[in-house]
Amino acid sequence: MELISEHACFGGIQGFYRHASAEIGLPMRFSVFQPPQARLGPVPVLMYLAGLTCTEETFMIKAGAQRYAAQHGIMLVAPDTSPRGTGIAGVADSWDFGDGAGFYLDATQAPWASNFRMYSYVLHELRQTILKQFPAQPDRIGIFGHSMGGHGALVLALRNPAIFHSVSAFAPIAAPSHCPWGQKAFGNYLGADQAAWQQYDATALMQGLQQPFPQGILIDQGLGDKFLTEQLMPERFEAACAQAQQPLTLRRHAGYDHGYYFISTMIEDHLAFHHRILTAN
Ligand SMILES: N[C@@H](CCC(=O)N[C@@H](CSC=O)C(=O)NCC(=O)O)C(=O)O
């Protein structure tokens, strides 16, 4: 693991790193905020998955999360949003697919399958790297994210409840099989057979839920979000949660759009939500 830069921040350390990823087959960058409490021993970890066009820097620069992570003693971890430097033809041609748009899944279709393995990268390789290299508590890990990253956080948590103990999202792509962003990504990364899409669709996963999150799921959604109706569809996830008897707090906020002004307004509540669950017992 190579240190790119380190910065003092709210009594802790904001760091940016690069490592050779076996899952991705290329170098990957990620960021970690270590709260001041990490100097004394292992602390709970909260992974954040960013949205389309973002990098490992976006959340750390724009969300204002470090103030609250330092108060609660939570480590923040953010990966990049896709492999970089694959050399695949057309990988940088659109902002909602390819570079910056890994969708936190393991692609099965050529030419994407060799490198676009963000699901396994986050679940296994990045998590293990954090546990080995930083003072992190392996049994107190939560996950959250925004938009494409909200989709990723919900999917990773619903499929791995023994690993991710708390989950929340800002304006997630809640039913990707039904929206243009999801259909474009899933069709190219996973192929035309929509049966293969279901394992990466939070609403479909909720419809077949095996193990509920008894502490609930928190979602914040701005009602001034230009992507709400066509791309995000939180009402589908809400209905699936009701059917599965999964406690869900879905807060709808008049006037807020899709960006980081919205996220930075709500971030304090998300840190408190994860802190309460991750430090129980
Ligand atoms: N280029 C697009 C806007 C892209 C955008 O809004 N990206 C969002 C995530 S969208 C879903 O995953 C984002 O977080 N952007 C970074 C930011 O700093 O806001 C367009 O032209 O509409």
Closest ligand 1 atom to 62 CA? 18
Largest CA-CA distance found in the chain, in angstroms, rounded? 51
Q: Is the pLDDT of residue 210 over 90?
A: no
pLDDT of residue 100: 98
pLDDT-derived band at 215, boundaries 50, 70, 90 = very high
- Are 144 and 270 a contacting pair, CB within 8 Å? yes
Q: Is the pTM of this model over 0.95?
A: yes
Residue tagged active-site, from 80, 106, 220, 225: 225
CA distances from 120 to 35, 102, 105, 106, 156 (A): 26, 12, 8, 7, 10
Closest ligand 1 atom to 52 CA? 12
Spatial CA neighbour of 33 closest among 168, 134, 124, 104: 134
Q: Three-state DSSP class for 34?
A: strand
* Span 54-95, pLDDT tens digits: 999 999 999 999 999 999 999 999 999 999 999 999 999 999
- Percent pLDDT > 70 in the chain is 100
147 is catalytic: yes
Residue tagged active-site, from 72, 146, 165, 258: 258
Spatial CA neighbour of 117 closest among 105, 129, 134: 105
Neighbours of 5 (CB within 10 A): 9
Provide the 8-state DSSP code for 125.
I
- Report how far ligand 1's centroid is from the alpha carbon of 97 (Å): 12
Give me the numbers of helices (H) and strands (E) for the chain, helices first please: 9, 9
Which amino acid type is present at position 50? A
120-132 mean pLDDT? 98
pLDDT of residue 155: 98
CA distances from 37 to 33, 60, 64 (A): 11, 18, 18
pLDDT of residue 195: 97
Would you say the CB of residue 261 lies under 6 angstroms from ligand 1? Answer: no
Provide the 8-state DSSP code for 164.
-
Q: Is the peptide bond between 27 and the residue preceding it cis, with omega within 30 degrees of 0?
A: no
Q: Is the pLDDT of residue 102 over 90?
A: yes
Would you say the CB of residue 54 lies under 6 angstroms from ligand 1? Answer: yes
The 3-state DSSP composition of the chain as helix, strand, coil percent (nearest 5) reads 40, 25, 35
120 is catalytic: no
Q: Is the pLDDT of residue 184 over 90?
A: yes
174-192 mean pLDDT? 98
225 is catalytic: yes
The complex's ipTM works out to: 0.95
pLDDT-derived band at 52, boundaries 50, 70, 90 = very high
Q: Is the pLDDT of residue 281 over 90?
A: no
191-208 mean pLDDT? 98
Tell the residue nearest (CA) to atom 17 of ligand 1.
259
pLDDT of residue 211: 84
